[in-house]
A and B are shown apart, each in its own frame.
Chain A
Amino acid sequence: GEDVEQSLFLSVREGDSSVINCTYTDSSSTYLYWYKQEPGAGLQLLTYIFSNMDMKQDQRLTVLLNKKDKHLSLRIADTQTGDSAIYFCAESSTGGGNKLTFGTGTQLKVEL
């Protein structure tokens, strides 16, 4: 079955860039997503990338996809304390109703 892996923790200083990595195994993945979850809150969709793209930029967020290695990353430029949260990558396949398979989540801590 599908498997999505992420490192559990990342700590960065305010103003630095954060890079959160994700690997997946399903070669039929069509879309790959990044979600943010703040304490006690639901999941917020940050951005997504279609599998035939290798990069997508949206303000401070840059998503890089290496389809050959099945590796996805999320770069947050100029990280702020408000970016402290858990970040989940997820994949879906068309034909599967777009149900999401989530990674384990990476807890990002931004220090002053």
Chain B
Amino acid sequence: GAGVSQSPSNKVTEKGKDVELRCDPISGHTALYWYRQSLGQGLEFLIYFQGNSAPDKSGLPSDRFSAERTGGSVSTLTIQRTQQEDSAVYLCASSFDSQGAGEQYFGPGTRLTVT
């Protein structure tokens, strides 16, 4: 079966523009997580969804960041008015649910570069 997919794989944008990053989880996985990997901050949790609800958004760095999930499947992470410090690899993971061992399977990531 297919794993977690993310698009685009690379995105270069100018400072101040908005970007949308997409994640397609493994079919049947109800939990979906967004993380960010950057040189300065390592791997950081951003937000997670159980179904279409986001019980924990505590990792979103500012109100320029938002995410949604529709139909319990695809999720979109939106960054408005991008800044250079937003440059990072954005990773999406999914798991069967958000309880128990909750083994998370990661996608290949979207590398975002803000110029």
Interface residues of A (CB under 8 A from B): 31, 35, 41-45, 48, 50, 88, 90, 92, 94, 96-105
Q: Does any Cβ of A come within 8 Å of B26's Cβ?
A: no
Residue from B50, B101, B107 within 8 A of A97 (CB atoms): B50
The range of chain B's interface size is 20 to 34
Residue from B42, B50, B103 within 8 A of A102 (CB atoms): B42
Residue from A31, A35, A50, A99 within 8 A of B33 (CB atoms): A99
8 Å CB interface, B70-115 against A? 91, 93, 95, 98-109
Beta-carbon contact of A98 and B42 below 8 Å? no
Residues of B within 8 A of A103 (CB): 42
Beta-carbon contact of B45 and A99 below 8 Å? yes
User: How far, in angstroms, from A97 to B47 measured CA to CA in the complex?
Assistant: 10
User: How far, in angstroms, from A50 to B103 measured CA to CA in the complex?
Assistant: 12
Tell me the minimal C-beta distance from A43 to chain B in angstroms: 4
User: How far, in angstroms, from A29 to B99 measured CA to CA in the complex?
Assistant: 13
User: How far, in angstroms, from A41 to B44 measured CA to CA in the complex?
Assistant: 17
Could you give 26 example pairs across A and B, Cβ below 8 Å? A42-B106, A42-B107, A43-B93, A45-B104, A48-B101, A50-B101, A88-B43, A90-B43, A94-B99, A94-B102, A96-B56, A97-B56, A97-B98, A98-B31, A98-B48, A98-B95, A98-B98, A98-B104, A99-B33, A99-B48, A99-B56, A100-B35, A102-B43, A102-B44, A105-B42, A105-B43
Residues of B within 8 A of A31 (CB): 101-102
Q: Does any Cβ of A come within 8 Å of B1's Cβ?
A: no
Beta-carbon contact of B102 and A98 below 8 Å? yes
Tell me the minimal C-beta distance from A52 to chain B in angstroms: 13
